[in-house]
């Protein structure tokens, strides 16, 4: 499984012509507090229900609060045949600390 730090993801998003699906697997209340612009919310417990729609994504960056739930989801997606998933190490917390310092933390 690939991983990006917050800074690496920021650079990747700026440089890449094709944007990956930014899949946020936190709970709705967490997403409402802070999220990376352009990300799509699908809570971790609902990932299985969204597998058919996710197969359309070429590349998926999985995001959570600190990178633990997203790592679990990455492994699950890989077990379901996804080959191009990336975990955001440190999650939105790292994004807020190193990329978007205006983003609230919790």
In this structure, what are the phi and psi dihedrals at residue 27, rounded to the nearest 5 degrees?
-80, 155
Would residue 103 count as lying in a domain?
no
- Find tokens 């045949």 and name the residue: 81
| pLDDT the model gives residue 15 | 96
pTM for this predicted structure: 0.96
Would residue 43 count as lying in a domain?
yes
Strand partners, 88: 4
Would residue 13 count as lying in a domain?
yes
Return the ∠ at Cα 47 (arms to 24 and 69), rounded to 5°.
55
Would residue 91 count as lying in a domain?
yes
Would residue 51 count as lying in a domain?
yes
Overall domain count for the chain = 1
Catalytic-role residue among 22, 42, 63, 64: 64
pLDDT along the chain (106 residues), means of 10: 97 94 98 97 98 90 98 97 96 98 96
Would residue 75 count as lying in a domain?
yes
Residue-number span of the structural domain to which 21 is assigned: 2-98
Would residue 106 count as lying in a domain?
no
Would residue 104 count as lying in a domain?
no
For residue 33, the domain's CATH number is 3.40.250.10
Respond yes or no: is residue 74 known to be catalytic.
no
């Amino acid at each position: 499984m690939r991983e990006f730090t917050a800074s690496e993801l920021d650079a990747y998003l700026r440089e890449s012509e094709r944007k990956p699906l930014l899949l946020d697997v936190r709970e709705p209340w967490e997403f409402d507090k802070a999220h990376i612009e352009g990300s799509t919310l699908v809570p971790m417990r609902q990932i299985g229900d969204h597998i058919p729609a996710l197969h359309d994504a070429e590349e998926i960056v999985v995001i959570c609060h600190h990178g633990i739930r997203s790592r679990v989801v990455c492994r699950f997606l890989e077990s379901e045949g996804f080959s191009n998933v990336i975990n955001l190490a440190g999650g939105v917390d790292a994004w807020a600390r190193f990329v978007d310092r205006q983003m609230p933390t919790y």
